[in-house]
Structure 1
Amino acid sequence: MTNNPKGTITVVSAHSADFVWRAGGAIALYHDLGYQVRVLCLSYGERGESARLWKQGRTLDEIKAIRRFEAEQAAEILGAQVRFFDAGDYPLETTKELQDEIVQEFREHRPEFILTHSLTDPYNADHPRTTEFVLECRILAQAHGYPSDFPVIGAPPVFLYEPHQPEQCNFQVDVLLNITPVFERKRKAMECMAAQEHLWAYYTDVAKRRGVQAGRNSGGSIQYGEAYQRVYPYVGEVLV
């Protein structure tokens, strides 16, 4: 189990770059607050998200190695620990063996909350498949009868990060996170993902737009933001 006094935040990414575009700001913020941040990359995105490398004539093994290296560089900049599962993509295969690995990961590291993909994505079946998989693993990690050397977890909130085309994915913004203090690190992490250079400017623009919206909804001055949707209700003593 983690020895970090602040606890652990877990990010589950279908492909090796997803965590950077969609949750890089949250990762950097929570690292700076003293949390252990663990990024779980189920695949490298080698088949469906590496077109530039395929056009260069790279082999499958070369592409996996490049995507892994890019993700490791990005994670280091953001302050995250990254674990790779090499489950394949297009399609992503969520096997029983992979399921057990993720359940044991949740039980051992006991995340304060979990970040993952949207529930719907008509453009990428790997993303909602990952989300359904994560929610089931969370349920199993809560089950007293599930075999494990680690105790059951509580009820960590799950936040869905913004998909590439939110309007088509039924994405509802419940949380706008101010990432202005760490955006430059997020941008540097994005620039590690050379196989998808075309997304650098796109996700910079997304962060600017969400920053404007965050400012309007808070009365403050916010330059960059990230959007999240809650899966489970907020529970507390006061309304916030």
Structure 2
Amino acid sequence: MAANTALVVSAHSADFVWRAGGAIALHASKGWEVTVVCLSYGERGESAKLWRQPGMTLDRVKTDRQGEAERAASALGVHDIQFWDLGDYPLTLSQDSLFRLVDLYRAIHPKFVLTHSTRDPYNHDHPATTDFAQHARIVAQAHGHNPEQKVLGAPPVFLFEPHQPEQCAWTPNVILDITPVWDKKFAAIQCMAGQEHLWEYYTRVGLQRGVQGARNSERKMTYGEAYEAVFPHVVETLA
């Protein structure tokens, strides 16, 4: 097991790119092993451009979406990307898939977890995913669950930015400087050809968070990603 590992639980195969690509690339560049779980391909609800092509099929959409996500993961330096194909609109999360995620937590012991906001009236797959990811975290901490395994500690959980933050009651309290790896994030964004309409939007988001990050620090930063921490930070000093 690597000294530094992280886990990203993404509802659809593009979510990790828009919302956490900078964090992934930044930590990968520092030697972290980042595992990304795509619970679905977003094949029904997030692939409109693909469905407009003549003769498109569900299997072909899934194949195209997986290819896009794999190329994006490579651009970001993802250590392991997994496609669980649990469907979307709606996302179907079973007890078996919950225990599968528990096993993954215990296999890699992530030092932090990134996932979706707890509310999203535009996409019920997103809050279902964060509930799923945090439920699995709790089970992975239970000593009575598969007691032969090493239990999970208390990795912090950060909720990445939803598409409509004001409507999602999402309040960022962490801003990450992703300026050094913006070129990698944008390369990954460009891999997502099926949602090209979002390329410019998430570039603007990155610039806006960069301005806010510079405003709240002494850093000279251009691009940022914002997160909402679920749990209190335990620190030795406040400086």
The TM-score by the shorter chain falls in which range?
A: over 0.9
Cα distance, 1:56 vs. partner?
A: 0.9
**Which amino acid in 2 is paired with 1:238?**
T
In structure 1, what is the equivalent of residue 188 of structure 2? Answer: 189
Cα distance, 1:55 vs. partner?
A: 1.2
Classify the secondary structure of the residue corresponding to 2:64.
helix
Deviations 1:98-155 (A, max 9, x none): 1011000000000000000000000000000000111100000000111265311100
TM-score by length of 2: 0.97
Distance 1:236 1:208 in 2: 29
Distance 2:125 2:163 in 1: 13
User: What is the number of equivalent residue pairs in this alignment?
Assistant: 237
In structure 2, what is the equivalent of residue 66 of structure 1? Answer: 64
Cα distance, 1:97 vs. partner?
A: 1.1
TM-score by length of 1: 0.97
Distance 2:87 2:147 in 1: 26
Distance 1:115 1:239 in 2: 24
**Which amino acid in 2 is paired with 1:8?**
T
Deviations 1:23-73 (A, max 9, x none): 000000000111100000000000000011111131000000000000000
Classify the secondary structure of the residue corresponding to 2:111.
strand
> Structure 1 vs Structure 2: percent identity of aligned residues?
57
> Would the aligned equivalents of 1:78 and 1:186 in 2 still touch at CA under 8 Å?
yes
Distance 2:131 2:204 in 1: 29
> Does residue 46 of the first structure (1) align with residue 43 of the second (2)?
yes
In structure 2, what is the equivalent of residue 144 of structure 1? Answer: 143
Distance 1:31 1:207 in 2: 19
Which has the higher mean CA deviation after the structures are superposed, 177-186 or 140-149? 140-149
**Which amino acid in 2 is paired with 1:144?**
H
> Would the aligned equivalents of 1:104 and 1:150 in 2 still touch at CA under 8 Å?
no
> Does residue 169 of the first structure (1) align with residue 158 of the second (2)?
no
**Which amino acid in 2 is paired with 1:35?**
W
* Match among 16, 21, 42 for residue 19 of structure 1: 16
Distance 1:145 1:181 in 2: 43
Cα distance, 1:238 vs. partner?
A: 1.4
Distance 1:202 1:24 in 2: 14
**Which amino acid in 1 is paired with 2:44?**
R
> Does residue 130 of the first structure (1) align with residue 152 of the second (2)?
no
Residues 72 and 171 of structure 1, relative CA distance in 2, 3 Å threshold: same
**Which amino acid in 2 is paired with 1:126?**
D
In structure 2, what is the equivalent of residue 55 of structure 1? Answer: 52
Distance 1:149 1:23 in 2: 33
Q: How does 1:1-240 map to 2 (within 5 A)?
A: 2=1, 4-5=2-3, 7-57=4-54, 58-80=56-78, 81-147=80-146, 150-240=149-239
Cα distance, 1:239 vs. partner?
A: 1.7
Distance 2:147 2:57 in 1: 38
Distance 1:40 1:171 in 2: 22
Classify the secondary structure of the residue corresponding to 1:184.
helix
> Would the aligned equivalents of 1:70 and 1:194 in 2 still touch at CA under 8 Å?
yes
RMSD: 0.9
Classify the secondary structure of the residue corresponding to 1:163.
coil
Classify the secondary structure of the residue corresponding to 2:6.
strand
User: Which stretches of structure 1, 4 residues or more, deviate above 4 A after TM superposition?
Assistant: none
